[in-house]
Amino acid sequence: MSAVALHDGRTLAYEQRGDPAGFPVVVLHGAPGSRRFAPDDEVARATGVRLLTFDRPGFGRSTRRPGRALLDTASDVAALLDAVRVDRVGLVGVSAGGPHALACAASREVGPRVAALAVVSAPGPLDEVPGAWESLGDRMRPTAEMARRDPSRSIRAIERHMAPAVANPSAYLQGGPPADRALQEDPVVRPLLLGDLAEAFRQGAAGLADDLVAFWRPWGFRIADLPPGARLWHGEQDARAEADAAYLAATLPGCRAVTWAGAGHYAVVTHWDEVLAAVVRDGTDQPSGD
């Protein structure tokens, strides 16, 4: 693990994997998640990727940033790119990392440096996706609505709700469609997911709460205004992001969307090679054949 000292006194924890001479790709983790959510070194090297992952504020070993907005992620990513001397980069946002990747692409700090953009199993903006507020359900919607009136109260509610998962991350890793349940029990995948969760909750649930509140509030940009050519992947069984995937695929300019058959929300862990190879092709202007 390495760290970047940020201008406001915070620390941003990050790791590098893969081919040091490869095309730089930043993977933005889900929520909860951490810099440990990444393909293994062998996959990154095989696809020619210099892989960068980092903990968003309040996750893992990165200093919390209370009150952060979605677009604030861009200044942290810009500082990371400066620290590792990267000019052009591919962004891959997975699950809740998707909105952060889109925010970076929309920003002045990072946008001009983005050569390739991909989102996987990602949600869309509550204010744009039809039926998004209703889909939150009767338990989550009041907390999301509170995020707009009194963010600190919403954060406290999330921390209380997540206390059992912080104490026992394995309790969080259960349920979902058949494809996800199979991966959660896979003897190779499960330890990776549990290690990511344990690191995500190193500081408690505050990072997750900040992430959710930022996601539930206005994003500060519109999906239709993003640069053209983003890629999107979505698992066929991932019902909780189905409407979001359809909206993003239809609204992202020039979006190239793929639905993985028989896959769920965690599908990327078995499709890293496909995602990274496509991002490298886009970022280096190689013929894609698709």
Q: Which domains does the chain have, with CATH numbers?
A: 2-284 (3.40.50.1820)
Q: What is the mean pLDDT of residues 144-157?
A: 96
pLDDT band of 287, cuts 50, 70, 90: low
| 12 φ/ψ angles, rounded to the nearest 5 degrees | -115, 115
Tell me the pLDDT of the chain averaged across its residues. Answer: 95
| 232 φ/ψ angles, rounded to the nearest 5 degrees | -140, 135
State how far the Cα of 64 lies from the Cα of 12, in Å rounded to an integer.
9
Q: Average the pLDDT over each of 74-83, 91-100, 173-182, 250-259 and give the range with the smallest value.
A: 173-182
pLDDT band of 240, cuts 50, 70, 90: confident
Encode 257-268: b = buried (16+ Cβ within 10 Å), e = exposed. Answer: bbbbeebbbbbb
State how far the Cα of 236 lies from the Cα of 194, in Å rounded to an integer.
24
State how far the Cα of 120 lies from the Cα of 258, in Å rounded to an integer.
10
- Least Cα distance to 211 among 151, 169, 266, 167 occurs for 151
Give the percent of the chain with pLDDT over 90. Answer: 92
Whether 286 has a pLDDT exceeding 70, the answer reads: no
Q: What are the tens digits of pLDDT across the range 32-65?
A: 999 999 999 999 999 999 999 999 999 999 999 9
Q: What is the mean pLDDT of residues 121-148?
A: 94
* Predicted pLDDT of residue 283: 95
